[in-house]
Amino acid sequence: MGKLKQKGKAGAAVNYINRNKALKKLQISLADFRRLCILKGIYPREPKNKKKANKGSTAPTTFYYTKDIQYLAHEPVLQKFREHKIFLRKLNKAIGKREFSIAKNLEQNRPIYTLDHILKERYPTFTDAFRDIDDALCMLFLFSTFPATDKIKSEIVTNCQRICVEFQHYIIHTRSLRKVFLSIKGIYYQTEIKGQTITWLVPYQFSQQVPDDVDFRVMLTFLEFYQTHLGFVNFKLYTDVNLVYPPKVDSSKDEGAAGLGALIIETTNNLVGLSSTSQDSEIKEESNNTDRKAESEKRLKTLSKKLAIIKEQVEPTSEIQPDITEKSETTNSDDNAEIMDEFTEQNNISQDQKHISKIYTYRDIQNASVALTEFENLFSNCIFYLSREVPRYSLEFIIRAFGGQVGWDETCGIGSPFNENDDRITHHIVDRPTLSHKSLLRIYVQPQWVYDCVNIRKLLKTEPYQPGKTLPPHLSPFVEYKEGDYVPDAKNEFEGDMERMEVSNEQDTEEEESSNEEDDSDDDKPEICSSHDKITVKVNESENDDMIHQMELEAEATGISFSKYQEQQDRLAKRQKTQGTNNTKAQQSSIQTVTGKKRAAKEIEEKEVKELAKIMMTKKQKTLYNKIQYGKKRQQEKVENLQRKKREIISQHKKRPTSNNNNDDNNNNSNKKKTKHKE
């Protein structure tokens, strides 16, 4: 007979422990326990059976794993918390006895703890640490906008600002920004670094009012961990790109609200010093990158020829005919190179596998890389100037992340690379309805143009974004439309309005005009045909003339005049034409009826198949199917409701100008009547 199991010695009662017992075991206060759990990443757990876990009691309690509490008992930070408690007791005692020299010595020897070992325990690899950086970025950007209060120290705010600016400089250096969206909460950014997509939220830089109902002790413990977390990540990112970390801070520019220009980024080999204030070094790096891209493109072009040579060695091709000229040889070689670029699918792969997995060719990869490089250099040929009413902290970051140059007003901060009167400026970003003076050498645009260009990945037309005009809708790039969803037309309208499309359209029109001219010239030229064709055409024409002449003579012999004969011939020609059109219409209608019958038959078959499938369903499957259909109907009703609202708005917009015109006409008529009465 085995041992009897005692109650409360095995199972959930042993695996879980409540919070009061954990505090007694660790011998710390509730505030320190919360701090330790946040730093170590230990959270409360919900047992399957609370009654068994609480040894028969049903009182509401919070449970933790006993293994987690044993893990906390050996934490070095716990010992530091105890030392800090002893330090505070000694400090209060010295101040109470007015022993200020002892209190000063105690203050200098305050116990300090670090979180480096905790970070290494929680994130063994860099990819693990990089995946959880979203919350850290949101928290740090939030605290960087807070004012210094009794709860939030100024040192914490400045440290958060420094770490955030360091991360932004890395994105500018690597051109890794992908999406931007302006929302009510703030500005959403998305970047792609080392295969990981990171999205974070940056609040607008308004005067923040710190709320009183928020427990800042919990938030500050999270912030303490996130600062070390993002500091480690920045160090790794900077060292991978051969940049010096931490970057130097220009104190004079930092005090003058230079923003991103306050940091001086340098490389480890000291060959190129990337100063954020002067953008000349950025231009040098762009030239180096273009040279590298040109070399890589040359290698990629020669790769197809090398593959063709290898294929010829493996499978010897047929001999070339001697009649083919040198030009045809070159074209054939180019065609072979193009064929070699596209790797064909294997015959062994089944059709289901082909539908599931798409095979990407070498050309697809090359086109994707070219499109990505163009997107990363979106604003490389643009020089922007920001007015003082524009959000400089966001636009400067976005424009520089896509290769553009930025200048701003002196009232926004020091460190602008050029003034407002510089002739190199191509785009002037303004957020006011009217302007006192304009320059003809630059384009005036509202700030939304920059964000929409980034989301669409091409330069849009600037006409809808001119100052004073109602802006097009700013759609979110994070929304993925599914089948049956409502897709706004604004996306389709503004997606093709690129400045580059104008050039392509002009080229297309020129090509069409040239082709039309060639066709006209071909019509004017005499047709070059063989002698046999000319003879047959002449014989047919002569036979037709003889027949017509004979019919005219017979009509004269019967007593019909020439004018009546021509009228009869015209009537016959019209009848033949109408009969031909009726025949074509009848043929088309018959084809349509046949296709309609086929479609109707297919629809009937599909309905029958669905009904049979419903009959074969179980009760659970039927309920699930009905729920799916109900959800689809609700989604369709939402889409129809949105479309109806859109139609109403469009009809209202169409009615407004007519009413305004009528009012103007009425005003003009009344003015005319008044002038007549005066006369």
The answer on 67 and 125 residing in a single domain is no
Last residue of a domain, one of 433, 467, 488: 488
- Above 70 in pLDDT, residue 218? yes
Q: How confident is the model at residue 325 (pLDDT cuts 50, 70, 90)?
A: very low
Domain containing residue 391: CATH number: 3.40.50.10190
Q: How confident is the model at residue 200 (pLDDT cuts 50, 70, 90)?
A: very high
Domain shared by 94 and 25, yes or no: yes
For residue 679, tell me if it sits in a domain.
Answer: no
Which tops the pLDDT comparison, 47 or 567?
47
Whether the predicted pLDDT of 233 surpasses 90: yes
In a domain? residue 585: no
> How do strand 427-429 and strand 273-275 relate by DSSP bridges?
unpaired
Is pLDDT above 50 for 278?
Answer: no
Range of lowest pLDDT (174-183, 549-558, 582-591): 582-591
Which of 315, 363, 311, 355 is CA-nearest to residue 333? 311
- Within 10 A of 429 (CB to CB), how many other CB atoms are there? 26
Q: Are 446 and 430 in contact (CB under 8 A)?
A: yes
Residue 413 and residue 392 in one domain = yes
Burial of 147 (0-12, 13-18, 19+ CB in 10 A): exposed
Peptide bond into 472 cis (omega under 30): no
| 199 & 260 share domain | yes
Q: 421-457 pLDDT, tens per residue?
A: 888 999 999 998 888 888 888 999 999 999 999 998 8
Report the Cα 111 to chain-centroid distance in Å: 47
Using the 3D structure, point to which of 442, 458, 488 is the last residue of a domain: 488
Q: What is the DSSP string of 611-643?
A: HHHHHH--HHHHHHHHHHHHHHHHHHHHHHHHH
Backbone angles phi, psi at 411, to 5 degrees: -70, -25
Q: For residue 172, what are the β-bridge partners?
A: none
Reported as a single tens digit per residue, the pLDDT across 69-127 is 998 888 899 888 888 889 988 999 999 988 888 888 988 888 888 898 999 999 999 99
Strand, helix or coil for residue 460: strand
Distance CA 18, CA 29 (A): 15
- Confidence bin at 361 (pLDDT 50/70/90): confident
Do 16 and 143 fall into the same domain? no
- C-alpha to C-alpha distance for 553 and 542, rounded to whole angstroms: 17
Are residues 86 and 206 both part of a single domain? no
Same domain, 29 and 89: yes
Number of domains composing the chain: 3
Higher pLDDT: 641 or 346? It is: 641
Average pLDDT of span 194-217: 87
Q: Domain range holding 394?
A: 378-488
**Mean pLDDT of the 499-525 span:** 47
Residues 187 and 232 in one domain: yes
**Is residue 630 over pLDDT 80?**
yes
Model confidence at 529, pLDDT cuts 50, 70, 90, reads: very low
At residue 138 the predicted structure's pLDDT band, cuts being 50, 70 and 90, is very high
**What is the average per-residue pLDDT within 547-572?**
71
435, 455, 488 - which closes a domain? 488
Between 186-195, 384-393, 501-510, 566-575, the lowest mean confidence (pLDDT) is in: 501-510
Quick one: which H or E segment has residue 189?
strand 187-193
- Any idea what DSSP says for residue 317? P
pLDDT at 143 over 60: yes
User: Residue-wise over 53-91: b if at least 16 C-beta within 10 A, else e?
Assistant: bbeeeeeeeebbbbebbeebeebebbeebeeeeeeeeee
Domain-embedded: residue 509: no
The residue type at 524: D
Look at residue 505 and tell me whether its pLDDT is greater than 50: no
Residues 56 and 182 in one domain: no
- C-alpha dihedral sign at 347, 351, 352, 353: positive
* Helices within 315-421 (DSSP H only): 326-341, 351-356, 362-376, 392-401
Burial label, 405 (beta-carbon count in 10 A; 0-12, 13-18, 19+): buried
C-alpha radius of gyration, the chain, whole number: 40
Q: Do β-strands 248-249 and 63-65 pair in parallel, antiparallel, or remain unpaired?
A: unpaired
486 compared with 79, residue with greater pLDDT:
79
- pTM assigned to the model: 0.67
Backbone angles phi, psi at 17, to 5 degrees: -140, 140
Q: Is residue 130 part of a domain?
A: yes
Residue 190 CA to residue 171 CA, distance in Å, equals 11
Give the pLDDT of residue 546. Answer: 63
Whether residue 89 is found in the same domain as residue 132? no
| 280-296 pLDDT per residue, tens | 555 555 555 666 666 66
Q: Which two tokens stand for residue 339?
A: 């064929």
| Average pLDDT over all residues of the chain | 76
Pairing of strands 248-249, 196-202: unpaired
Range name among 39-43, 107-111, 587-591 with the lowest pLDDT average: 587-591
Pair 129, 77 in one domain: no
Question: Using an 8 Å Cβ cutoff, are 506 and 465 in contact?
Answer: no
